[in-house]
Amino acid sequence: MPLLEEEVDATAAFLPEELLYRRVSSSELTEGELDPSRLNSVSFSKDVEGAPSVLRGRFSTPSDAMHIDCCNGKDKSDCLVYYLAVADIPGPLESGDGKSFAFFPIQKPLARCGAHSVLASYYEGDPDRAYVSPSRKVRNNLRARLATTMLPITQTFDLATRKPIGR
């Protein structure tokens, strides 16, 4: 059962080794591998709340990523769970106009899913890290990098110790 919003410390810093869990639909795979051209769930909107969502490993388990409370009330039991460490978030990535985008996690707890967070983007070098929706080129590059960085929980994750295997 996912932790509720009031059960997590949303101000706690993300550590480089902290794992982030992400639900992936089978439609985003080609021959069992993440396909960057199909990672439609990695999208951004003009507001940070519309950035790609992840769950903080500090406050969740991989199975929480498929729990109905962390899926907007929808059944996502047909999905897989992938993970990456905070230190492995891709970036900085350059846009076509020479601007460089970096990414970092921000915790955005939901009432029934306290571990909910997003991968926010900002112009590299901005000391305030003000959210900026990245260009199409950057989004596509991020999808490609995530496809090679994220790993499936079931194949490379020890659920007993909550640590990645072979990393």
pLDDT (tens digit, 9 = 90+) per residue, 84-97? 999 999 999 999 89
| Dihedral angle over CA of 128, 129, 135, 137, nearest 10 | 130
pLDDT of residue 96: 87
Among 72, 104, 84, residue whose Cα is nearest residue 22:
84
Instruction: Give the C-alpha separation, 128 to 96, whole Å.
Output: 23
pLDDT of residue 159: 55
pLDDT of residue 54: 97
pLDDT of residue 9: 97
pLDDT of residue 117: 97
Q: What's the Cα-to-Cα distance from 22 to each of 6, 72, 97, 99, 150, rounded to whole Å?
A: 22, 14, 30, 27, 9
pLDDT of residue 78: 86
pLDDT of residue 112: 97
Instruction: Give the C-alpha separation, 89 to 57, whole Å.
Output: 14
Q: Which sequence spans correspond to the domains of the chain?
A: 5-154
Q: Which residue has the tokens 């601007």?
A: 99
The dihedral built from the CA positions of residue 32, 166, 65 and 56, taken in this order, carries a sign that is negative
The pTM is what?
Answer: 0.89
Residues paired with 158 in a beta bridge: 163
Instruction: Give the C-alpha separation, 59 to 152, whole Å.
Output: 19
pLDDT of residue 77: 85
How would you write the pLDDT of the chain (167 residues) with one tens digit per residue?
Answer: 999 999 999 999 999 999 999 999 989 999 989 999 888 778 899 999 999 999 999 999 999 999 999 998 999 988 999 999 999 999 999 998 999 999 999 999 999 999 999 999 999 999 999 999 999 999 999 999 999 999 998 654 455 565 555 54
pLDDT of residue 154: 66
